[in-house]
Structure 1
Amino acid sequence: MIIRLFSRLILGLLLLNSGIVQAEGNSQYKLASGDVIRISVFGEKDLSFEKLRLTDAGTFSYPFIGEVQAKGKTAAEIEQIIVNKLKGDYLVDPRVSVSVLQYREFFISGEVKTPGGYPFQPGLTLRRAVALAGGLTERASDKRITIIRDHDASRTPEPATLDTLVLPGDTITIDQGFF
């Protein structure tokens, strides 16, 4: 029994360190402008790219295919698009892998010491985002925080707490407290 639990723990740590668990957690992540992706085509160096930044329109250019619309799609959907376009005319059985190397920035403004854009990290909470921005100013209110989600077309500010999860492209505003 103890050996079985120990082996599960070791397996879990190996999977976590290999990035497999992280990849599963990001499988529903929707790409947008500013994301940096890697495209690997097995056995085809000329069709593999280490760092492709999506344009303002959420697209990237790819050999033989042209402009690929990536905005709103997952990495798996981009893989399938590339496979479908390369299969037959260019390659017999292309094996394609697409992964996100760098997520688009989130933005924080208001009563923080260093407002601006910061690189997103998976699992980021508002508390950690504030720390990245140098912490709260003396006038900041930890109760008057709003967040505008990047995926919200109406751009409606939502109330947030320091434990709220931050997503790529989000805009956070920390207001002054009233004394």
Structure 2
Amino acid sequence: MRYRASFLILVMLAGGCAASHPKMQPDPAAVLPYRLDSGDRLRVIVYGQEDLTNSFTVDQSGYIMMPLVGSVPARGKTTQELQAGIATSLRNGYLRDPDVSVEVEQYRPFFIMGEVRAPGQFTYVNDMTVETAIAIAGGYTARAQTDEVEITRSINGKVYRGHLAMTQKVRPGDTIRVLQRLF
């Protein structure tokens, strides 16, 4: 009887520990369109205007510098919004009906720190997961927590911090922190 009571107490304590662990939330940024920011390299094509077609990097101020129109704000915009902005600027005294296309040539880097073998800044790859990011950083150290990571992410100009599971997506500009396990 005493053993049964001890076993029940252990089961309840273990159940309480499992219940207190926060559940992983769906990634809110997964459904949002990609927003441009500093470090993104863009390919801007103005059809029929080879002098205006080129690659441009979003600078620290959030702008790209284009011939004829000068600084064009890019930070926080989707590629479609930037296309429209460039076309409007070119329509104002330069071209009658510009046909503009914008695509991301290279995404801004992501950062990883904590319990990985090679922390630092790395090139983002499309559809990258946390697990892939850790592999790029050389894998875990012996003390790493391997079920989730802490992530810092900017969404629409606001900085968020939370936890992601290994299969969740990393976004350009994210800072990933691999935590140290307790035991």
TM-score, structure 1 normalization: 0.79
Moved over 3 A (4+): 152-156
* 1:107 partnered with 2:111: yes
Distance in 1, Cα, partners of 2:51 & 2:156? 37
Distance in 2, Cα, partners of 1:152 & 1:79? 19
Distance in 2, Cα, partners of 1:27 & 1:113? 32
Query: Per-residue displacement from partner, 1:54-108 (whole Å, max 9, x unpaired)?
Result: 1011111112212111000011111111111212521122111111000011110
* Unmatched segments (≥5 aa) in structure 1: 1-24
The aligned counterpart of 2:174 is: 170
Structure 1 pair 40/144, CA: closer, same or farther in 2 (3 Å)? Answer: closer
* 1:92 partnered with 2:92: no
**SS of corresponding position for 1:73:** coil
The aligned counterpart of 2:47 is: 42
Aligned 1:1-179 pairs, distance under 5 A:
28-49=33-54, 51-87=55-91, 89-143=93-147, 145-151=149-155, 155-179=159-183
**SS of corresponding position for 1:68:** strand
Query: How many aligned residue pairs are there?
Result: 154
1:111–1:140 Cα contact (<8 Å) kept: yes
Distance in 2, Cα, partners of 1:148 & 1:87? 39
The AA in structure 1 aligned to 2:126 is P
Structure 1 pair 27/82, CA: closer, same or farther in 2 (3 Å)? Answer: farther
The aligned counterpart of 2:6 is: none
Query: Which structure has the larger Rg?
Result: 2
* Unmatched segments (≥5 aa) in structure 2: 1-29
**SS of corresponding position for 2:77:** coil
TM-score, structure 2 normalization: 0.78
The aligned counterpart of 1:3 is: none
Query: Per-residue displacement from partner, 1:86-145 (whole Å, max 9, x unpaired)?
Result: 125211221111110000111100000000111111211000000000000111111352
**SS of corresponding position for 2:179:** strand
Q: Percent identity?
A: 38
The AA in structure 2 aligned to 1:116 is G
Structure 1 pair 154/80, CA: closer, same or farther in 2 (3 Å)? Answer: closer
